[in-house]
Chain A
Amino acid sequence: MAAPGGFSGTDFKTEETVFLGFTRTQLVAFLVMVAFIVVSPFFLYPVFLMKVLCFALFACAFNLLIGYVGLLSFGHAAYFGMGGYLAGHAAKVWGFTPEIAVLIGGAVGALLGLLIGWLAIRRQGIYFAMITLAFAQMVYFFCVQAPFTGGEDGIQSIPRGNLFGMIPLSADITMYWLTAAVFLIGFLFIHRVIHSPFGMVMKSIRENEPRATSLGYRTDDYKLMAFVLSAALSGVAGGLKSIVFGIATLTDVFWTMSGEVVLMSLVGGLGTIFGPVVGAAVIITMQNYLAEFGAWVTVIQGIIFVLCVLAFRRGIVGEIGNWLRVRL
């Protein structure tokens, strides 16, 4: 299921990798992105940008699974939300410094991913999606019932604390640089994974799993590993988000959040490196700037999804890449 639109029917130019596994076009795109991240806080609102970065990391993590292994998870909210809760709890109740809290979020994501992934990877296509959804709903139920999550009020006023116990993060701009750094590390890490021998096997599973098996790869191990990585990074993104906003609530664990990350990746372009980042930016901008239009938010969102599916199936980045005939 879910052979991403970006891959079919286009003759891509073959490009040499020049740096860090990037092709020249990708490197240019990467530098543009970095430049934007560095310059944007001076003319856009930093808290908004941090939100975009958190979700961009989440979407990139999700895209690792669907774009490169071909597995559509419909339960990624579980790792994102639980990462957020645990990071929030660690920072607020246990008094850990923010970097430890975020790492705890990642660890929780990884553990949960290992457990759910181990069961889910036995199934494919829509059944894989449904089984991940089922487990995510159970996680949601746990979060509603467990006392430490504070029910629907969530964990409130989580302190941003001091980075490494020294640098206070209360100023938005300091927090922004940390968020940007975490995002870039995560982004480059995912990029590195995709271009490692491990990543090559992942892609071969996406293209033709029986053949990968016949070549002697234990495909289940690879799928599980990719699943755990994706879940861990989602946990990091969730943890980062609760440190940035100082809250962790049920909306982050609910199934609509799982749907949202699918939409981000789709709008940006499945199976492209930059797609999820662009998709996250578009969706978060919509949520924020359409808020003034009141009830029209849902209508406008709906129209955008319909348009994406009917006219821009490759997603924004996918369409641009197709037009330039390069992989982005």
Chain B
Amino acid sequence: MDEIFGIPAPLLFGQLLLGLINGAFYALLSLGLAVIFGMLNVINFTHGAQFMLGAFVAWAMLNFLGLGYWWALLLAPIVVGLFGVLLERTMISQLYKLDHLYGLLLTFGVGLIVEGLVRNEFGSSGLPYRIPTELTGAWDLGFMFMPVYRGWVVIVALVACIATWLVIEKTKIGSYLRAATENPALVQAFGINVPRMMTLTYGAGVALAAFAGVLAAPIYSVNPQMGSNLIIIVFAVVVIGGMGSILGSVVTGFGLGIIEGLTKVFYPEASATVIFVVMAIVLLLRPAGLFGRA
């Protein structure tokens, strides 16, 4: 058995693969955050709560309506996205002209409310949610067992990331959106309903969070605080990638997943801190993040 830095090579490969899978989650979560920041200039701190809502809606659909995982994957993002639309219309839209700080604080407050209400209703220790039968089981890769479901997560996350990138960079709607971020008045003058576009963009970003939530439900404990543990890491991912850069957050998501995975082998205690070390170094060397425009 070959060894790399004193760690058996197969174990290291396994950890790299797991890092990549975690990276897929980070990428998917930071994608929504980056879309919202890039297009609306709002730092969406409710993202964690919306991720959690996705998982809870999936649970509710199964238990109250008898709708399984596949339906949840389709419908839960729409339900939570509509909640996002409502939030944008009633509150966030009033803050566009103000400093980022206010958007951050508002969404932070909304996150607290959502988390508190869910905890009051369902308690703190979580709810059960099963892996769909089609995706149970594991492949024996020789150096580790690879659950089928994790493979599915990586594929779905990649598809979602590429699709989002294509929509924003290559379609007409995407170009309107980008134009509206640069100069809303001008875009409005061309007869495009900018406020509605903003609303839909926010809804879409939130739907992405909920989508990630449904993906997470079978493998992570579905509890009210599941999102707040992740939000700060995902936030760091977006900053390192360059605020608002979609490509940046996707690449950084995967990259950080791998770095974190390696840290978990060599110095597991530091695996949460390593992300911040990377963030500090990146910001000192490249002020606008890896892919951001200064």
Contact = CB atoms under 8 A, between A and B. Distances in A.
Interface in B251-294: 269-270, 272-273, 276-277, 279-280, 283-284, 287-288
A18 B234 CA distance: 51
Contact of A302 (B109, B120, B279): B109
Given A138-B280, A299-B112, A127 B287 contact: yes
B84 interface: no
A296 B288 CA distance: 39
Interface stretch (B60-68, B92-100, B177-185, B198-206): B92-100
A17 interface: no
Chain B: interface size category: 35 or more
A309 B46 CA distance: 15
A298 B112 contact: yes
A127 B287 CA distance: 7
B116 interface: yes
A254 to B, nearest CB: 10
Contacts of B113: 298-299, 302-303, 306
B277 A2 contact: no
B120 A299 contact: yes
A263 interface: yes
Contacts of B236: 130, 134
B287 A296 contact: no
A144 B232 CA distance: 18
B243 interface: yes
A297 interface: yes
Interface string A293-328: 001111101111110111001000000000000000
A34 interface: no
Interface in A239-262: 255, 259, 262
A217 B243 CA distance: 31
Chain A: interface size category: 35 or more
| Chain B contact surface mostly | helix
Contacts of B117: 299
B109 A306 contact: yes
Interface in A101-122: 119, 122
A298 B273 contact: no
A198 interface: no
A266 B105 contact: yes
Residue among A122, A135, A295, A304 with most chain B CB within 10 A: A295
A134 B289 CA distance: 14
Interface in B60-107: 91, 94-95, 98-102, 105-106
A145 B110 CA distance: 34
A138 B277 contact: yes
Given A134-B279, A141-B270, A303 B99 contact: no
A126 B273 contact: no
Interface string A136-163: 0110110011000000000000000000
A3 B98 CA distance: 9
Contact of B239 (A127, A137, A295, A296): A127
B280 A299 contact: no
Contact of A306 (B101, B110, B279): B110
Residue among A131, A302, A309 with most chain B CB within 10 A: A309
Given A298-B112, A303-B113, A255 B232 contact: yes
Q: Top 3 nearest A-B pairs by Cβ distance? A: A305-B109, A302-B112, A298-B116
Interface of B: 43, 91, 94-95, 98-102, 105-106, 108-117, 119-120, 232, 236, 239, 243, 269-270, 272-273, 276-277, 279-280, 283-284, 287-288
